[in-house]
C-alpha cells in the first residue's frame, strides 16, 4: 500500500482551523474549507465546503451574496447600539 499521495491546493484558499486533507485530493482555486473538515475527495474551484467528510455547501458567489445580506443586517443593528453607547460615554466624560 502506498503511504504517500499527491495533494494539489489551488490559489486563494482559506482553511479553517484543524482541517485534514487526505492524499490524492485536489482543491481548486478560490475555495473556503470550514473548520475541522476532513477533505477526502476533490473540491472544485470557487466552492465553499465543510464537514466530515467534507462536501460542497455552495459556490463562493452564493456565499458572498448570503454573507453580504447578513453583514448589512448586522451593521444596521449595530449602529444604533454603538451610537447610544458612545453618547452615554460622552455624557459621563463631561461630568
pLDDT, tens digit (0-9, with 9 covering 90-100), for 37-56: 999 999 999 999 999 999 99
C-alpha cell at 56: 460542497
Return the higher-pLDDT residue of 38 and 73.
38
Contact indicator for 11, 27 with CB cutoff of 8 Å? no
Are β-strands 20-21 and 47-50 bridged in parallel, bridged antiparallel, or unpaired?
unpaired
Return the higher-pLDDT residue of 72 and 42.
42
- Going by pLDDT thresholds of 50, 70 and 90, the confidence category of residue 30 is very high
**What whole-number distance in Å separates Cα of residue 72 and Cα of residue 53?**
32
Amino acid at each position: 500500500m502506498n503511504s504517500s499521495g499527491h495533494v494539489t491546493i489551488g490559489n486563494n484558499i482559506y482553511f479553517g482551523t484543524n482541517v485534514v486533507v487526505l492524499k490524492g485530493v485536489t482543491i481548486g482555486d478560490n475555495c473556503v474549507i470550514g473548520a475541522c473538515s476532513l477533505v477526502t475527495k476533490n473540491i472544485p474551484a470557487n466552492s465553499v465546503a465543510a464537514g466530515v467528510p467534507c462536501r460542497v455547501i455552495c459556490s463562493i458567489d452564493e456565499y458572498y451574496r448570503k454573507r453580504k445580506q447578513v453583514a448589512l443586517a448586522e451593521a444596521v443593528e449595530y449602529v444604533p447600539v454603538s451610537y447610544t453607547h458612545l453618547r452615554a460615554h460622552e455624557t459621563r466624560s463631561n461630568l
